[in-house]
Amino acid sequence: MGLIPDFKKIATRSPWLYRINAGSCNGCDVEMAVTALIPRYDVERLGCQYCGSPKHADIVLISGPLTVRVKDAVLRLYEEIPEPKVTVAVGVCPISGGIFRESYAVLAPIDQYIPIDVNVPGCPPRPQAIIAGVAKAIEIWRERL
């Protein structure tokens, strides 16, 4: 019986990331790509791996204020991600709409539609902040496994 918690602990060392762009201006997406790709911030050392398919994902990074037009697509993508999953909202847009707040085309805050576990504010957030957000998400994920 003692093996299962051990395995769960090991399992949290393999968080696969998936990015959803919910109408972002691309600033946060550039920062996320940078955290993954450049040697200096290499997230692979945490065991992270960007995956192209939502079905492989564990931790979802959502950027953007959720525009009216992408809402259905984003909700469907979110449904496609298998449990247990953790959601990280990257940037200030998912929290309040950021510079797009009060626009008729924007549905922020995003947690009216999708449960958000970690908020990483910033416009755009620094790569270190995104990595800290992912690390926080890994802790939450461990409890859900």
Partner 1 sequence: MSNQIAILLAVLLFPGGVFALVFGLAMKGVDRRVAARLQSRVGPPLLQPFFDIIKLGFKRTMVPAAANQTVFLYTPLVGVISMLIAAALVPITSVYAPDAAIGNLLVLLYLLMIPGIVLMIAGSASGSPYGAIGFSREMALMIAYEGPLVLIAAAVAIRTGMGMGTWATFSLNDIIAYQQTHGAFLFDPVMWPAVAAFCFFYPANLGIVPFDIPEAETEVLEGPLLEYSGPVLALFKIMSALKKVVVLSLGIALFFPLAPEMMVGGLLVWLIKMAVLMLVGITAVRLSMGRMRIDQAFVFFLKWPLLLAVASLAVVVVV
Q: What is the Cα–Cα distance from 110 to 64, expressed in whole angstroms?
A: 9
Q: Are 94 and 65 in contact (CB under 8 A)?
A: yes
Residue with Cβ nearer partner 1 (39 or 112): 39
Site stretch for partner 1 (CB under 8 A), options 3-11, 86-94, 116-124, 129-137? 3-11
Distance (Å, whole) CA 78 – CA 113: 10
Subset of residues 16 to 75 that bind partner 1, contact rule: CB under 8 A: 16, 39, 42, 44-45, 47, 49, 51-53, 55-56, 58
How many CB atoms within 10 Å of residue 129? 17
Task: List residues binding partner 1 (CB under 8 A).
Answer: 7-8, 10-16, 39, 42, 44-45, 47, 49, 51-53, 55-56, 58, 80, 82-84, 145
